[in-house]
Amino acid sequence: MVGITETVLRDGHQSLIATRMRTRDMLPAAERLDAIGYRSIEAWGGATFDVCLRYLREDPWERLRALKRAMPRTPLQMLLRGQNLVGYRHYADDVVRSFVDEAARTGIDIFRVFDALNDPRNMEVALRAVKRAGARAQATICYTSSPVHSLEAFVALGRRLAELDADELCVKDMAGMMPPGDGAALVRALRQEIGLPVVVHTHSASGLASLTCVAAAEAGAAAVDGALSPFAGGASQPPTETLVGALRGTPNDPKLDLGALGELAEYFRGVLEHYRPLLELRSLQTDPGILTHQVPGGMLSNLLSQLKEQEALGRLAEVLAEVPRVRADLGYPPLVTPTSQIVGIQAVLNVLQGGRYRQVTNEVRDYVRGLYGTPPGPLDPELVARVTAGTSAIRARPADLLDPELAKAAAELRALVPAADTAEVLSYALFPIVYRSYRSAVDRGLTSDVLTAAALGVVGALRRPATPPSARAAGTGVGERGSAWAHEGRVRLQTQRGWIDAAHGRTRR
């Protein structure tokens, strides 16, 4: 029997509606989700933490507490970016340990820990903290294809992760480009050589995902990830119901009730309806182009918004051709946060500035110097010479260069909020600026409901095609002004400039 990990509460909405699903839209389904018999429910981590604070003005820890109360039976799972936790830089070890502890204490049972460079040193402290907290450590291999990535290299990485005491391994195909044959071979090799349970996470983008999940199940995967159908397909996971249907009656039957899944899907269809202004047609479409350019969906929308800002949308094809070249220069990192942003932004610069590396971003400099970890393959010597002129490369584990951060963060926050608890201190330690603005927004009564309404209004208004003059003159009420969402959005945008930097326009690290 293969297990199913349900992603509707995390990757599903992160992939399709920019991570905007609110806790109040999750809770009504919680009891039924808990009763399905999933192997686990991925409900926290990844971008959800940041988006809760930054855009929804929700406390992510409160979300986790509420979900755990409502789903006591099914193991809750989170995505943790190794030493980056749920942020975009390396945090000091004391922050990593405390964060993992607090997350486990609050309700996370399974930690899926990955590093964008597949550098085990960036996962080590988190994995050990997971074990110490008594939770399950799911160590992750980011799948990609390149001249330096082979079955043997992935198995060697799996072996190192097993030595770090991982309980199980995850093959994470964030771009959705792993062919069924490769997926099956990798699962089989990891099972045979290492013996730990292997789970497979992929995305539907290229259209391969359902096939790959079935092949992985047949090859002995312990679980595959699916999202309930309204939040499945395209940039998200394959539909849970489809996977269950495909495997029904086989030796790998997940044995989940399609009727009960259908009722849940019906509920989430209604939820999606509410967020529809945020849904891009492109993120639902199948894009086999990924098989050549390897650009994951989230990265593609970032590239698009960067090009739009520069009024250079017409140069997308050149940028997509430049991405694999930059990636090769950087030793073929898998493209996932934050390497996807590092490679993407540099590729845009290389195209728009009329010469490659005429301007080199600070992130590329840091990367080349070794501040993100050890790249999978050798770097382009010319780029290294240019970037490291006069400085030496860093060979140590990057987080060894960081001083402890937790006590300082606690002192800073408690000067503002004397009663702040550990969870709040961690939110502040991870995102100090965002957390300050979250606190002041909450203090002014700008709750998640008001802000989400505003966000949907702004995006909806921007997306809506211009109303024909005849319709406006006739006062049919379908124009921009007729929409309460849009009105609310405009008012908020005027009074609160800057809090919405457009759903997808985030190119920070």
Binding residues for Co ion (CB under 5 A): 11
DSSP codes, 281-307: HHHHS--TTHHHH---HHHHHHHHHHH
Residue 2 structure tokens: 């293969």
CA separation for the pair 54, 435 (Å, rounded) = 8
Comparison of 42 and 488: residue with beta carbon closer to Co ion? 42
Comparing every residue's Cβ against Co ion, the nearest one is 11
Cβ contacts of residue 290 below 8 Å, gap of 6+? 175, 176, 177, 205, 206, 296
Q: State in angstroms the smallest separation of the CB of 172 from Co ion.
A: 7
Residue 327 structure tokens: 């990636």
The angle at the Cα of 447, spanning 441 to 450, to the nearest 5 degrees, equals 110
Q: State in angstroms the smallest separation of the CB of 226 from Co ion.
A: 12
Q: State in angstroms the smallest separation of the CB of 79 from Co ion.
A: 7
In 117-242 the beta strands, taken as DSSP E runs, fall at 136-142, 168-173, 198-202, 223-226
Contact at 8 Å (CB) between 360 and 339? no
Comparison of 7 and 98: residue with beta carbon closer to Co ion? 7
CA separation for the pair 464, 467 (Å, rounded) = 8
CA distances from 245 to 33, 238, 250 (A): 18, 12, 10
Q: State in angstroms the smallest separation of the CB of 238 from Co ion.
A: 12
Comparison of 11 and 102: residue with beta carbon closer to Co ion? 11
Identify the bridge partners of residue 139 per DSSP, sorted by sequence position. Answer: 113, 169
CA separation for the pair 267, 498 (Å, rounded) = 33
Find where tokens 């946060």 sit.
337
| Residue 387 one-letter amino acid | V
What end-to-end distance do the CA atoms of the chain give, in Å? 39
Q: State in angstroms the smallest separation of the CB of 203 from Co ion.
A: 6
In which region does residue 296 sit, left (phi positive, over 0), alpha (psi from -120 to 50) or beta (all else)? beta
Q: State in angstroms the smallest separation of the CB of 174 from Co ion.
A: 5
Q: State in angstroms the smallest separation of the CB of 225 from Co ion.
A: 8
Q: State in angstroms the smallest separation of the CB of 175 from Co ion.
A: 9
From 222, 199, 225, select the one nearest 6 (Cα to Cα). Answer: 225
Comparison of 204 and 350: residue with beta carbon closer to Co ion? 204
Q: State in angstroms the smallest separation of the CB of 112 from Co ion.
A: 10
CA separation for the pair 336, 71 (Å, rounded) = 30
Contact at 8 Å (CB) between 223 and 255? no
Contact at 8 Å (CB) between 380 and 329? yes
Q: State in angstroms the smallest separation of the CB of 186 from Co ion.
A: 17
Q: State in angstroms the smallest separation of the CB of 59 from Co ion.
A: 24
Residue 160 structure tokens: 């190192």
Comparison of 6 and 329: residue with beta carbon closer to Co ion? 6
| Residue 95 one-letter amino acid | V
Comparison of 11 and 287: residue with beta carbon closer to Co ion? 11
Contact at 8 Å (CB) between 62 and 372? no
